[in-house]
Amino acid sequence: MSSTRRQYPFHLIEPKWQQQWDVQATFRAWSPGERIPAAHPFGQRHGLRDETATTLNLPPKFYVLDMFPYPSGAGLHVGHPEGYTATDILARYRRAAGFNVLHPIGWDAFGLPAEQYAVKTGQHPRVTTEANITTFRRQIKSLGFSYDWQREIDTTDPRYFRWTQWIFLQLYHSWFNPASNRAEPIESLPYPAELKSEPERRVYRDGKRLAYVSDAPVWWCDALGTVLANEEVIDGKSEVGGFPVVRRPMRQWMLRITAYAERLLQDLQTIDWSDSLKEMQRNWIGRSEGADVTFTIDAPGLPAAERQVTVFTTRPDTLFGATYMVLAPEHRLVDAILPATWPANTPVTWKGQQPGATQSPQAAVAAYRAYAAARSDRERTDLAKEKTGVFTGAYAFNPANGERIPVWIADYVLLSYGTGAIMAVPAHDTRDLEFARAFNLPIRTVVQAPGNTESIGFVDDGISVNSGFITGLPTPDAKRNITDWLVQQGLGQARVNYKLRDWLFSRQRYWGEPFPIVWKPGPDGEPFHEALPESELPLLPPPLDDFKPTNDGRPPLARATDWLNLAGAQRETNTMPQWAGSCWYYLRYLDPANDQAFCRPAAERYWMGSAGHPNARITPGVDLYVGGTEHAVLHLLYARFWHKVLFDLGHVSTPEPFYKLVNQGLILGEDGQKMSKSRGNVINPDDILKDYGADAFRLYEMFLGPLEMTKPWSTRGVEGVYRFLGRVWRLCIDESSETEFEQRCAANPDQAAQHLEALRPHPAIQATAPDASQLRVLHACIRKVTEDLDHLRFNTAISALMVFVNEAIAWDVRPLETLRTFLVLLHPFAPHLAEELWQLLDTQRESAAGTGTPVAPNTIAYLPWPRFDPALLVEETLEIPVQVNGKLRDRIRLPADTTPAQVELAALAADKIAPLLRGKTLRKIIVVPGKLVNLVVSP
């Protein structure tokens, strides 16, 4: 490819404009309070030369955001620029349309690969990270994105993570007040009267914080040497690397995201995300309505508290059909309720399968627990066919009918959901039915299925039967009725349950934000935690040269003994997960250099849309956020959670961070398979850029298909858009001047860039007014490109640009203004080429050149977006298809203003139509004005 002739000298044009944009800071976004230099094109466009920007004099904001990359050692792949190109096109389009566009980029640079590399080589993660960022920055800049580089951020920069730590302190110093349904400062926490002493109150307070310490079992990954959040564990393996994980109790920091479950769910209705993405978040939050029901164990000797077992059910209406109970094997009451011996007549199959462990309930339960603990999560879920469990020997009373029902333990009941115990209604729950059939437990129908449907195994709404006072009621009424009854009896209450769990927030790693927390010995010997004052931020990680965990299994930070030990206290040695930095980066872009606050309120209110605007409707939050689906639950849920906390505490002004969110689709290899090194089908953007240039690369990424769709890469396809750019070039450039340019380049390659000056406009380009058909072609293009950009339909917008060029290249006279307008339409897609040709066709430059005064190259970026005139699009005559019985038979050409009655007559008289109607009965004539005529006839 490199041996063939270039379509146009993109290798000279692209660096030229990238440098120009850098020097001019062309895409610098101005916040209220900043002074706009007289020479900046933004100020020139908006009449703000050398003025201080304010909320009132700035145009409306448009915040278009990319998911910032993790700068890996592998460099950029073609997936990154897909979303980045889409947002860049939008940014350039909105800038032209008169918005103040914020389009930033940065680096999500804490993370495991750099740390693992450090463990292997001793190379400090800081060094690796900086090298990788340099590569990423170079690659991203070579694509010509219109980022405001003065707002570049790096999550590993102490000036950045200082504020990540500060936000953690906000969480630490807050509690969630259920009465106000929001976070409040911990000082407002009311204490129960019986808590008098400060140590007692401290324990209570620490249990209420949004950031708290928990000893619950967590997922531990040996291969990664750290714990992981629930969301990072998939099918019993780590999301990163696919290593096995095990459940292990450890003392860990948690964030109380569950307090926000309902608001995270409800507020989805206020934002413009795809249905599938909202659905994924809804599934993850997993709201279900039902009731708590208390069962009493038949063990009169036990204290009352140990005889009560509460279950959660979404079907309280089936309570009369509960023929047994199941507790999770780890349920805390199991040991208390076990009788010493099996009840008489216990079937042998109920005592468990473990040989030698069936003599007593204790032995059977212990054996089953050992078996369940040994099963990995994958085995539990994949081998879901065979239900297992053992009878505990205990019985409970069904509160509805007083029946004595056996209590089992089984691993199909999860300790972590609901109350860790269920009432089993085998007739109307698939899992309970499987279990009941396996162990021959009673099955009682309590819901009548409609029609002839079998009632056993029926899990939908029906009519209650065999159910005492709710018999005959439809399911929704029965639920309400029995829940009211349970409340009256003091046996239960309505309850909403969520699958969402609190967020495990600590990791045993080096390359992350240290917690601004110290531990002190308590009066009872138990250590307690305290926050560092804000004045001690940023808390830097200690210098280390060994990044492995300590030999006794503590995190790497514990190696730094000088750092670790303070007077009377020890530092927290865990670090924050990678998600921490990405939870709020979109806020830091608003005011990236601020060392007094994470973000100045005036900037926050302007860019997040709370300041309003006199002449425009402003979007609350980020206007457009584009990124991959892989962040559908993790990053996007965490970020919404932090944002809501900051909102409650008055630090941000909108309840949601990202108003409109779009997931870009995956780009597959040329073989239609996912790109991967092992398949050898990875496309490197650097190679494409070298052969075709950045503009062709951008254009192709967008021309491939709809942004959100998964689609295969084709390097042949790149040549198609590259040829299109070549045609644009030849539309504007005089061929003989190009020959001269090439000769000069060949003679003097070192000064190739200067030789661009030799290029002259195509002789067919004249300063004449376009004719009606040229205007129609142009305005059809303006209309299509504008509407398509408004709906993110980049592929069809590009096709409209191609249609224009295919037409215009055939014109004998190419009106100058028409081509200039076209270049404005082209520039968001192919900015370098558009800038170069604009400069060439710039009449002011021509005249200034005559005076010998050098003219600074200006930019196309701030020219007004053209508007289309609908009047110019109206065709004088229309071609109307004529159908007979829905089949196309002829086309007739008629003036656009023909009345429907005249269209009818013309259709009937058409050459190919009249013979078809002979001898038939005309039943009906349908005229769709301007569209088509359908004649309905019968023989």
Cβ-based nearer residue to RNA, 129 or 388: 388
Q: Are 924 and 916 in contact (CB under 8 A)?
A: no
CB-CB contact of 575 with 510 (8 Å): yes
Phi and psi at residue 283, in whole multiples of 5°? -60, -40
928 near RNA (CB under 7 A)? yes
By CB under 7 A, residue 782 contacts RNA: no
Locate all alpha helices (DSSP H) within 75-211, ordered by sequence. 79-96, 112-121, 125-141, 158-172, 198-206
Q: Specify the residue, 477 or 670, whose C-beta has the smaller distance to RNA.
A: 670
- Residue 165: other Cβ atoms inside 10 A: 23
Asked if 426 is part of the footprint of RNA (rule: CB under 7 A), the reply reads no
- Residues 833 and 616: their CA atoms lie apart, in Å, by 32
Tokens of 355: 């040989």
In the shown chain, the binding pattern of residues 387 to 406 toward RNA, with x for contact by CB under 7 A and - for none, equals: x-------------------
Q: Which of 57, 276, 743, 748 binds RNA (CB under 7 A)?
A: 276
Query: Considering only CA atoms, which of 716, 714, 722 is closest in space to residue 696?
Result: 722
Q: How many residues bind RNA (CB under 7 A)?
A: 83
746 binds RNA per the rule CB under 7 A: no
376 in contact with RNA (CB under 7 A): no
Part of the chain binding RNA (CB under 7 A), chosen from 105-113, 149-157, 395-403, 710-718: 710-718
Shortest Å distance, C-beta 869 to RNA: 17
> Which of 776, 796, 813, 908 touches RNA (CB under 7 A)?
796
Residue with tokens 């050409």: 893
Nearest-angstrom CA–CA distance, 516 and 508: 15
Of positions 224, 409, 422, 622, contacts RNA by CB under 7 A: 422
DSSP state of 60: P
Site membership for RNA, residue 891 (CB under 7 A): yes
Q: Is 360 in the site for RNA (CB under 7 A)?
A: no
Least spacing, CB of residue 793 vs RNA, in Å? 6
Q: What is the token pair recorded at 679? A: 């398949």
Interaction pattern, residues 138-177, with RNA; x per rule: CB under 7 A: ----------------------------------------
Q: Does 716 bind RNA (CB under 7 A)?
A: yes
Given candidates 373, 384, 540, 914, which one binds RNA under the rule CB under 7 A? 384
Q: Which of residues 595-634 bind RNA (CB under 7 A)?
A: 629, 632-633
Given the complex with RNA, which of 5 and 918 has the nearer CB atom? 5
> Does 706 help bind RNA (rule: CB under 7 A)?
yes
Asked if 288 interacts with RNA (CB under 7 A), we say yes
- Please give the residues from 192 up to 251 whose contact with RNA meets the rule CB under 7 A: 234
Of residues 675 through 704, those in contact with RNA by CB under 7 A are 703-704
Residue carrying structure tokens 């066709």: 841
Is 898 a binder of RNA (CB under 7 A)? no
Q: Which one of the spans 297-305, 345-353, 589-597, 931-939 is the region binding RNA (CB under 7 A)?
A: 931-939
Q: Answer yes or no whether residue 412 interacts with RNA by CB under 7 A.
A: yes
Of 32-40, 117-125, 285-293, 765-773, the window that binds RNA (rule: CB under 7 A) is 285-293
Candidates 28-36, 97-105, 522-530, 922-930 — which segment interacts with RNA by CB under 7 A?
922-930
Within positions 427 to 486, which residues make up the interface with RNA, using CB under 7 A? 429, 431, 434
Stretch that binds RNA, among 54-62, 282-290, 512-520, 582-590 (CB under 7 A): 282-290
* H helix or E strand, kind and range, residue 478: helix 475-489
- Minimum distance from CB of 487 to RNA (Å)? 17
Distance in Å, CB of 840 to RNA, minimum: 19
**Residue 498, CA distances (Å) to 5, 79, 257, 319, 410 in order:** 63, 35, 11, 21, 22
Pairwise CA distance, residues 392 & 708, whole Å: 53
Residue with Cβ nearer RNA (723 or 867): 723
Q: Give the x-and-dash track for 323-352 against RNA (CB under 7 A).
A: -----x------------------------
Minimum distance, C-beta of residue 922 to RNA, in the bound complex (Å): 12
Strands (DSSP E) along 7-73, which ranges?
A: 35-36, 51-52, 61-66
First to last CA, the chain: 64
Binding segment (CB under 7 A) for RNA, from list 308-316, 486-494, 827-835, 855-863: 308-316
Q: Burial of 545 by CB count in 10 Å (0-12 exposed, 13-18 middle, 19+ buried)?
A: exposed
Q: 452 vs 561, which CB is nearer to RNA?
A: 452
Among 267, 306, 799, 908, binds RNA (CB under 7 A): 799
Question: Does residue 938 interact with RNA by CB under 7 A?
Answer: no
> In terms of CB distance, is 411 or 604 closer to RNA?
411
Chosen residue from 166, 371, 397, 417 binding RNA by CB under 7 A? 417
**Within 52-111, which residues bind RNA (CB under 7 A)?**
none
Asked if 354 interacts with RNA (CB under 7 A), we say no
907-912: long-range pairs with CB below 8 Å, 24+: 907/880, 907/882, 907/933, 907/935, 908/935, 910/882
Give the whole-angstrom CA distance, residue 64 versus residue 83: 11
Per CB under 7 A, 261 contacts RNA: no
Give least dist CB 860 to RNA, A. Answer: 23
- List binders of RNA among 724-743 (CB under 7 A): 724, 726-727, 730
497 binds RNA (CB under 7 A): yes
Residue 709 as a binder of RNA (CB under 7 A): the answer is yes
Please compute Rg for the chain using Cα positions. 35
Q: Residue 565 CB, nearest distance to RNA (Å)? A: 41
Asked if 810 is part of the footprint of RNA (rule: CB under 7 A), the reply reads yes
Least Å from the CB of residue 376 to RNA: 12
Using alpha carbons only, give the angle 475, 480, 483 rounded to the nearest 5 degrees: 120
Residues between 861 and 890 with contacts to RNA, criterion CB under 7 A: 879, 881, 883, 885-888
Contact indicator for 96, 712 with CB cutoff of 8 Å? no
635 contacts RNA (rule: CB under 7 A): no
DSSP helix/strand/coil, 484: helix
Q: How far is the CB of 781 from RNA (least distance, A)?
A: 12
Taking the complex as a whole, the smallest distance from the CB of residue 418 to RNA amounts, in Å, to: 4
Task: Determine, following the binding rule CB under 7 A, whether residue 793 of this chain makes contact with RNA.
Answer: yes
HEC letters along 324-388: EEEECCCCCCHHHHCCCCCCCCCCHHHHCCCCCCCCCHHHHHHHHHHHHHHCCHHHHHHCCCCCC
- 527 CA to centre of own chain: 39
CB of 261 to RNA, least distance (A): 12
Q: β-strand 921-928 against 814-815: which pairing, if any?
A: unpaired
Query: In the complex with RNA, which residue's Cβ is closer, 299 or 936?
Result: 936
- The per-residue DSSP string of 247-304 comes to EEE--EEEE-GGGGHHHHHHGGGGSEE-HHHHHHHHHHH--EEEEEEEEEES-TTS-H
**Residue 921 touching RNA (CB under 7 A):** no
Report the b/e string of 284-303 with b at 16+ CB within 10 A. Answer: bbebeebbbbbbebbbeebe
Stretch that binds RNA, among 92-100, 149-157, 399-407, 929-937 (CB under 7 A): 929-937
* Sequential DSSP letters for 105-145: -EE---SHHHHHHHHHH---HHHHHHHHHHHHHHHHHTTT-
**In the complex, minimum distance from the CB of residue 724 to RNA, in angstroms, rounded to a whole number:** 6
User: Checking DSSP bridges between strand 308-313 and strand 390-397, what pairing results, if any?
Assistant: unpaired
Tokens 């909102």 map to which residue? 647
Number of H helices and E strands in the chain, helices first, is 33, 40
Pair type for strands 932-938 and 565-566: unpaired
CA distance 790 to 623: 12
Q: Residue 755 and residue 757: Cα distance in Å, rounded?
A: 5
